[in-house]
Amino acid sequence: MIYRSIETLRRAIATRRAEGDRIGLVPTMGALHEGHISLVQEAEKTCQHVIVSIFVNPRQFNSQTDLAHYPRTEADDIALLDGRCSLFIPSVETMYPSGYCTSVQTGGLAERLEGAHRPGHFDGMATVVTKLLTITGPDQAFFGEKDWQQLQIVRRIVQDLNLPVDIVACPTLREPDGLALSSRNRRLSHSAREIAPKLHTIMQDTALAIRTGMETDAALAAGKEAFAHAGFGPVDYLECCHAETLEPARPGSAPLRLLAAAFLGSVRLIDNIVI
């Protein structure tokens, strides 16, 4: 079933809740791929009514060009899901009607990494995620680990705003060559697609160097140099951080996560792995 109005969706959810069903939400911006399907599959394990939202949220884009070029494939998305769950596909006017003036502001976790390079991005993300959680009232919401910083911020939003939902993290799905699945991958040229898996390979090498005793700053510097030699640039960041606080790693701190963002032509790729 496809829902485009908030009121109709809420009535359907209320009916399912009255029948005792658990509600699961998978928020997306469309251009669905197997990574999104894996989130749906995870949701189906514990929820009888799964809702996939498809909404390209203009408030989390820093560049109007990037917003204009973001892939929109609604017909293909509907076909890929093949009726296995409910779809919520609101318009911009539905989510942000005339006179809308409220936003969720993020700090702390949102100030570094992506936040430093994309000012305002996480406020836009936090606003739309909070709206989707309050519109659907799910028991569980499912997010991929590929957007690791986003995942930690969503967890903080739920904690700080006392939202009654369980945030479920799902592993990053990758192509056989290691490239993390992403809607943006379809914008890569043929030559860029051949280079793109090196992002993950270099990150693995960097993580191994840190694990086996190389000084962290030296390992990160070598990783950035390897990115440049492979054809990436500019490199926004390659950082070793505490996995939960996202603060720079300190001696003895754990668990650790390696996070990276780099351009390949006009496409900006992000990834993260466990150290």
Q: Which residues are catalytic?
A: 36
Structural contact between residues 168 and 138, judged by C-beta atoms closer than 8 angstroms: no
Sequence-ordered list of residues with C-beta below 8 angstroms from that of 52, at least 6 positions apart, any chain: 26, 28, 32, 36, 40, 81, 85, 86, 87, 88
CB 31 within 8 A of CB 69: no
* Residue showing tokens 């699945």: 181
Q: CA–CA separation, 208 vs 55, rounded Å? A: 38
Alpha helices by DSSP H, listed for the chain, are 6-18, 34-46, 64-69, 74-81, 92-95, 114-117, 121-136, 148-160, 190-195, 198-211, 216-230
- Specify whether the CB–CB gap between 45 and 20 falls below 8 A: no
Provide the 8-state DSSP code for 248.
B
Spell out the alpha helix ranges (H) of 161-275: 190-195, 198-211, 216-230
CA distance 52 to 90: 11
Token couple for 248: 């720079």
Contact 163, 140 (CB under 8 A): no
CB 235 within 8 A of CB 227: yes
The alpha carbon of 254 is separated from its chain's Cα centroid by a whole number of angstroms, namely: 23
